[in-house]
Amino acid sequence: MNKRQFNYKWALWVIVIVVLLRVLFFCITFFTFKSYSPVKDNQVLLRQLLNFWVWIFPLLYIGEGIVYFLLRKRKLNRSYVNIHLRCLLVENIFLPFFFGVLGVLVARFLSKEQLQNNFALFGNLRTVIIWAVFIIGHIFFVLAIVKKFSSENEAPKTDEPDGFLNEFADQS
């Protein structure tokens, strides 16, 4: 295991990029919905803007960035941190792009009836894969933090055998 001090700037840059892209994706979706929606009711748009699921992930990622910043001088397990950050990148950049391209290709090669029959399956598959990557990444985020604090509480182990009089030295 590689337990050198991790580069917190890498973690912060990844999180900043992911948060900015999440907000950008939301803005694109919001303004596209606003301009092409047959409903011109501002209440519907405001409800979409204040949706819990829209803002929970950027706020969660900002919280993770704060945790990484606060732990910047600690020796976190770099491999756990890197797995977490790579899962963030895959979940928020690669998978949306991949499923967008895949959706266009599927729409091009399937008939309208086949597309309607498989639309729910495609959406469920996308949701399961994205949530699986999200959960795996956050398991490693928690592991990096828990392992750090559990290793601080352990007494350093030595290879020397206990001395003859060590049990009496602790009593005084």
- What pLDDT is recorded for position 49? 67
pTM attached to this predicted model: 0.71
Residue 138 is encoded by which pair of tokens? Answer: 């956050």
- 72 three-state secondary structure: coil
Which amino acid does the sequence have at 92? N
The pLDDT tens digits for 20-63 are: 988 888 888 777 777 776 666 666 666 766 777 778 888 899 99
Give me the mean pLDDT over the 71-97 stretch: 87
Nearest Cα to Cα of residue 67 among 11, 3, 139:
11
- What pLDDT is recorded for position 140? 93
- Spatial neighbors of 67 by CB under 8 A, at least 6 apart, are 145
- What pLDDT is recorded for position 1? 45
Give me the mean pLDDT over the 7-24 stretch: 84
- CB-based burial of residue 1 (10 Å sphere; 0-12 exposed, 13-18 middle, 19+ buried)? exposed
User: How far from each other are the two terminal CA atoms of the chain, in whole angstroms?
Assistant: 39
Q: How confident is residue 84, by pLDDT bands cut at 50, 70 and 90? A: very high
- What pLDDT is recorded for position 147? 81
Nearest Cα to Cα of residue 84 among 137, 12, 132, 142:
137
Give the sign of the dihedral formed by CA 113, CA 117, CA 121, CA 124.
Answer: positive
